[in-house]
Amino acid sequence: MGLFDLIPEEIPDGSFAMIEDFKTDSHDKKVNLSPGIYRDENAKTWVLPSVKQARVARVDQTFDHDISPQLGYPSLVSTAQQITFRDTLSTRVITSMQTIAGTGANHFIAQFLSETIQPKTVWLSAPSWENHPKIWGHVSSAIKQRTYPYYDYQTSTLDIEGMISTLRMDGSNGDVIVLQACAHNPTGLDPSRESWERIGQICEEKGIFPIFDSAYQGFATGDPYNDAWPIRHFATRSNGTMEFAVAQSFSKNFGLYGERIGALHIVTRNEESAGKVEAVLKKISRAEITSTPSFGAKIVATIFHKPELKEQWYKDLKTMSGRLGDMRKRLHDGLIQRNTPGNWGHLLTDVGMFSMMGLSQKQVAALRENFHVYLLPTGRLSFTGLTHKNVEYVADSIHHVITL
């Protein structure tokens, strides 16, 4: 018997398995509505014009492939802070480091907290990004994962009362809560500013440490600073004494999926604590990655520090969020015109890439098998795969699986 013969079988990751299945599907009308990757009107991964121009600018300069400092490419780290905190940056003590995209930032903060404050419980939204429980489970089986009410499946609205009451009743000092800053994955449903104030208050009351997962900044409203308002609000609560973290990704809002560029920010009360935080982060980084990718980091920094490229980036965000809004309306209108049973009004009020369609696993399977339309088994639809050419076909396919 070999050393590894007794390793139990692992279930393949559903998202990546679906991507591979879609590639091998030869049907001429196939539509992939599962991945959270922005596509253009031709259903191709879009290279942002600002990124194209920045690449030219970088190549024209002296370009090397030297190793980055332990906390990452400095200009990228400062850019990440400015994009996240803007006018509150100067008022708080923030320790930041470059990470391997948003997934790496989520992993780093989970590892950091498990080694330092050692929380007994981490709270995740119901539902949440499928990788959140995987990351926390991978880091420590000793940290209990619990869910707080978030999405009301009957009304397709935010269950803010359920969320607050659950945290008030069951939350404990030293717990951790994962919050999504904007364009919530998988629901597309974000709290109002009033609700964010209540969430901040309950975190303070119960002594719960918040982590903002900021993967889609700029996709909710087209304005990255408007989308980051909840983070800045937490930064200014209680006269600027609230401690929290932000896991930031540049995969979506710069279209740098394959470059794996992200950042982690930890907000502390004083410089002494920040020094200790930095030391632990450097220790983790040295053991896990040693140095971060530099090319994508230099692209982001170049865009942000060249006024004409930054202005183009703002336009690119408007282009992406605007196209997603257009696809939302077209799918909504297509379902309404067909008198498709269901609650579809939320497609127009949800934001970002995703919405929950309220489809059963059987109906999702029928979409895939009979119409070659791919959604996650949860019924989450990614609007990035819709185009003017296929949206009516998708609406017709959804109508058929619901009414059969």
pLDDT over 80 (residue 188): yes
Give the pLDDT score at 1. Answer: 79
13-25 confidence digits (pLDDT tens): 777 777 788 888 8
Q: Which two tokens stand for residue 53?
A: 């121009």
CATH assignment of 67-305?
A: 3.40.640.10
Residue 98 pairs in a beta bridge with 263
Cis peptide before 210 (omega within 30 of 0): no
Q: Which amino acid is at 205?
A: E
Average pLDDT over residues 318-328: 97
331: confidence class by pLDDT, cuts 50, 70, 90: very high
Alpha carbon distance 100, 86 (integer Å): 23
Residue range 198-217: mean pLDDT, rounded: 98
Q: Pick from 332, 359, 107, 86: which is nearest to 231 by CA?
A: 86
Q: Which pLDDT band, with edges at 50, 70 and 90, does 59 fall under?
A: low
pLDDT at 26: 87
| Residue extents of the structural domains in the chain | 14-47+320-403, 67-305
The tens digit of pLDDT for each residue in 360-376 reads 999 999 999 999 999 99
Confidence of residue 64 (pLDDT cuts 50, 70, 90): confident
pLDDT > 70: what percent of the chain?
A: 99
Instruction: Using the predicted structure, report yes or no on whether residue 343 has a pLDDT greater than 70.
Output: yes
The mean pLDDT of the chain is 95
Backbone angles phi, psi at 148, to 5 degrees: -110, 145
Which residues does residue 248 pair with via DSSP β-bridges, in sequence order?
214, 263
Which fold would CATH assign to domain 14-47+320-403? Aspartate Aminotransferase, domain 1 (3.90.1150)
What is the rounded CA–CA span in Å between residue 241 and residue 128? 28
Q: Of all helices (H) and strands (E), which one includes residue 163?
A: helix 160-170
150 residue type, one letter: Y
Give the mean pLDDT of 249-263: 97
Query: How many Å separate Cα 109 from the centre of its chain?
Result: 15
**What is the widest separation between alpha-carbon atoms in the chain?**
64
Q: How confident is the model at residue 327 (pLDDT cuts 50, 70, 90)?
A: very high
In which band, very low, low, confident or very high, does the pLDDT at 241 lie, cut at 50, 70 and 90?
very high
For residue 63, pLDDT over 70 is answered with: no
Check residue 66 and give its pLDDT. 83
- What would the mean pLDDT of 116-141 be, rounded to a whole number? 97
**What confidence tens digit (pLDDT) does each residue in 261-282 have?**
999 999 999 999 999 999 999 9
Q: Return d(Cα 323, Cα 319) in angstroms, integer.
A: 6
pTM of the predicted model as reported, rounded to 2 decimal places: 0.95
The confidence score (pLDDT) of residue 22 equals 84
Compute the half-sphere exposure of residue 186: CA atoms within 13 Å on the CB side of its CA. 24
Per-residue pLDDT band for 150 (boundaries 50, 70, 90) equals very high
Give the separation between CA 213 and CA 243, rounded to whole angstroms. Answer: 15
pLDDT at residue 182, rounded to an integer: 98
Residue 297: strand, helix, or coil? helix
Is the distance from CB of 102 to CB of 262 less than 8 angstroms?
yes
Give the tokens for residue 261.
């560029």
* Partner residues linked to 227 by β-bridges: none
21-25, 305-309, 393-397: range with lowest mean pLDDT: 21-25
Judge whether residue 234 has pLDDT over 90.
yes
Look at residues 209, 259, 262, 251 and name the one whose alpha carbon lies nearest to residue 84: 262
Report pLDDT for 299.
Answer: 96
pLDDT at 23: 84
Average pLDDT of the segment spanning 176-181: 98
